[in-house]
């Protein structure tokens, strides 16, 4: 299914990512004998395109090398910028992924999900799938591995039903099968979420990533069915260090897109091939996608439309819906307006918010 990754010899510096090339770019073996050190070992002959190697991809010809005096000087993204934006999100071939382990995680609200940890053949980051409901399972996790015992299978999470003290077999228990229940499962809600340390962990009100993650979990938990694919591509793919520099450039009067371009990064360096591969491994070929980002819809569907996005479900900031508890402030409003006006995100803007933005930006 997976073709070889195309060679692309482009010199690039990676300011933020510790990712190293994997030992082979062609059909790596995920046999039980393949240790993590094998996966991490470097091979100078292996040539992996930098955009696949690391989210910290810095194209040599990224525009935006001068500093505007005001945030309104930057204007809108040129066609070239937008092409670059879309190209960085599309991979010619899908990466190979394997679920290494999964575990049950109880939540504060009394519900629970399963956390699936993935490894892949293009970077050494631990990408995750947060899976709600019992019907979604990983093919690569469930596949039998050589020489493994029942205890091995239960330890890596390849069991059905629930673990309990004294359980000795990983297979289905007599009372746990319900085919009628599976037939009634609706098309799952899916969110492709990129890691954001500042917004999810460090209480930042510059973006709404933490709120979006919470809202996705709330919706999926309520439906009892859904997946958040959590990709380790911080700062729209440029890494935390570069993101912090971009924040300083924003405080100097640039918006989030211009700040990235000034740092010679694409406005959006993320790619979604890993998400497509993870969803396919989870047996999901038709999904409802929670996003405001039109590029993401096309990118997640994969180079050969491996996945069908049946419906796009918008994510409206809580504050814009008049719900208390959401992220508020000048920074987040500027950030969201930049996403709408310069990155084509589709978020309905409330009238009051629109007027205050126009006043603020002198439109």
Positions in the binding site for Zn ion (CB under 5 A): 196, 199, 207, 209
255 is catalytic: no
Q: Choose between 94 and 332: whose C-beta lies nearer to Zn ion.
A: 332
Give the residue from 194, 143, 211 showing the smallest Cα distance to 300: 194
Query: Nearer to Zn ion by C-beta: 207 or 246?
Result: 207
Q: Which of 63, 49, 61, 64 is nearest to 14 (CA)?
A: 49
Q: Which is nearer to Zn ion, 98 or 195 (CB)?
A: 195
Reference 5, options 17, 18, 22; nearest CA is 22
Nearer to Zn ion, 209 or 284 (CB): 209
Q: Please tell me which residue in 81, 268, 281, 334 is annotated as part of the active site.
A: 268
Q: How far is the CB of 124 from Zn ion (least distance, A)?
A: 23
Nearest distance, CB of residue 74 and Zn ion, angstroms: 20
Three-class DSSP category at 231: strand
Q: How many CB atoms lie within 10 A of CB 104?
A: 11
- Nearest distance in Å: CB 336, Zn ion: 11
Name which of 196 and 282 has its Cβ closer to Zn ion. Answer: 196
Give the pair of three-digit tokens for residue 167. Answer: 């359980």
**Candidates 102, 191, 270, 342; catalytic one:** 270
Classify the C-alpha dihedral 343-346-347-351 as positive or negative: positive
φ/ψ (deg, to 5) at 104: -80, 135
Check residue 23 and report its DSSP letter: S
270: annotated active-site residue: yes
In degrees, rounded to 5, the angle at the alpha carbon of residue 289 between the alpha carbons of residues 284 and 290 is: 140
Sign, Cα dihedral of 47, 53, 30, 274: negative
Query: Considering beta carbons, is residue 95 or 199 the nearer one to Zn ion?
Result: 199
Report whether 257 contacts 342 (CB < 8 A): yes
Shortest Cβ distance from residue 136 to Zn ion (Å)? 26
The torsion region of residue 221 among left (phi > 0), alpha (psi -120 to 50) and beta comes to alpha
Q: How far apart are CB 200 and Zn ion at their closest, in Å?
A: 7
Distance CA 283, CA 289 (A): 15
Query: Nearest distance from residue 59's CB to Zn ion, in Å?
Result: 22
- Active-site residue list: 268, 270
């Amino acid at each position: 299914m997976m073709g070889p990754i195309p060679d692309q010899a482009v010199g690039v510096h990676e300011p933020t990512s510790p990712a190293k090339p994997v030992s082979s770019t062609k059909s790596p073996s995920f046999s039980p004998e393949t240790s993590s050190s094998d996966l991490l070992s470097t091979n100078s002959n292996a040539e992996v395109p930098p955009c696949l190697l690391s989210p910290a991809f810095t194209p040599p010809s990224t525009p935006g090398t001068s500093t505007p005096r005001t945030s309104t000087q930057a204007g809108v993204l040129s066609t070239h910028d937008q092409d670059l934006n879309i190209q960085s999100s599309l991979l010619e071939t899908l990466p190979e992924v394997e679920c290494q382990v999964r575990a049950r995680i109880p939540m504060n609200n009394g519900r629970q999900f399963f956390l699936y940890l993935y490894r892949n053949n293009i970077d050494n980051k631990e990408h995750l799938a947060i899976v709600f409901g019992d019907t979604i399972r990983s093919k690569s996790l469930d596949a039998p591995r050589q020489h493994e015992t029942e205890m091995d299978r239960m330890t890596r999470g390849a069991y059905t039903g629930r673990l309990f003290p004294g359980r000795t077999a990983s297979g289905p228990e007599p009372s746990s099968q319900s085919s009628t229940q599976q037939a009634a499962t609706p098309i799952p809600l899916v969110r492709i979420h990129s890691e954001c340390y500042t917004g999810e962990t460090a209480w930042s009100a510059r973006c709404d990533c933490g709120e979006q993650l919470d809202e996705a979990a709330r919706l999926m938990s309520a439906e009892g069915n859904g997946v958040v694919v959590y990709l380790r591509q911080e700062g729209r793919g440029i890494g935390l260090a570069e993101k912090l520099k971009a924040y300083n450039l924003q405080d100097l009067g640039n918006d989030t897109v211009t700040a990235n371009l000034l740092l010679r990064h694409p406005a959006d360096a993320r790619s979604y091939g890993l998400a497509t591969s993870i969803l396919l491994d989870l047996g999901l070929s038709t999904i409802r996608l929670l996003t405001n980002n039109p590029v993401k819809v096309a990118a997640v569907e994969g180079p050969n439309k491996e996945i069908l996005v049946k419906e796009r479900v918008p994510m409206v900031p809580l504050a814009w819906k008049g719900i208390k508890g959401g992220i508020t402030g000048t920074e987040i409003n500027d950030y969201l307006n930049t996403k709408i006006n310069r990155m084509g995100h589709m978020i309905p803007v409330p009238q009051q918010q629109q007027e205050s933005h126009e006043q603020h930006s002198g439109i």
